[in-house]
Amino acid sequence: MTDGIVAVVSGTTAPERVLFEAARRADDSGATVHVLYVLGLEWYASAELWLAERLRIPTGIDTIRAICERKADRLAAPALERYETAGRIGHPIDEIVEYATEVEADTVVVDGDLQSGTGAWRRVSDPLEAFRERELSVVPVY
């Protein structure tokens, strides 16, 4: 039995494919699906500046993290019956691996075309290889 499955819904233009695959695997194994939205540091800085200067909303890492978690929940709610959500800020691969370790997940489901979406993956030439090096089972969906 799989301990958990992390479905990464950031960095993709089609999160429903990621969620469908995570749900299918959870149904087969009885695992918990953890829906994760990771905001890269440059996007975090932009979001904080936009909220603070344009909307005059006090910000901080907790505020932005809560926004990420709400985004994950909005994406997951129509597709999944049971799930847990999380929002993280930092280098996407590091944050995904750290979160998967925290929730004892052994599988990460990601969009196979990580170069699309928010551009959060652009610092790595082959992001899937970076996950494999950390001994996580990676399931790319296309």
- pLDDT tens readout for residues 38-89: 987 766 666 666 666 666 666 777 777 888 999 999 999 999 999 999 999 8
Q: How many CB atoms lie within 10 A of CB 41?
A: 12
**Of 2, 3, 6, 4, whose CA–CA distance to 95 is shortest?**
6
**pTM for this prediction:** 0.82
Report the pLDDT value the prediction gives residue 112, as an integer from 0 to 100.
Answer: 83
Work out whether the CA dihedral 123, 90, 108, 68 comes out positive or negative. Answer: negative
Contact 11, 70 (CB under 8 A): no
N-terminal to C-terminal alpha carbon distance within the chain: 25
* 87-119 tens-digit pLDDT: 998 888 889 999 999 999 989 999 887 654 344
Contact 33, 26 (CB under 8 A): yes
Residue with tokens 């979406």: 117
Report the pLDDT value the prediction gives residue 39, as an integer from 0 to 100.
Answer: 84
**Between 106 and 132, the higher pLDDT residue:** 106
Domains of the chain in start order, with CATH, are 4-126 (3.40.50.620)
Query: What is the four-CA torsion angle of 64, 136, 139, 61, rounded to 10 degrees?
Result: 0
Q: Which two tokens stand for residue 141?
A: 């969906």
Q: Does 13 have pLDDT greater than 50? A: yes
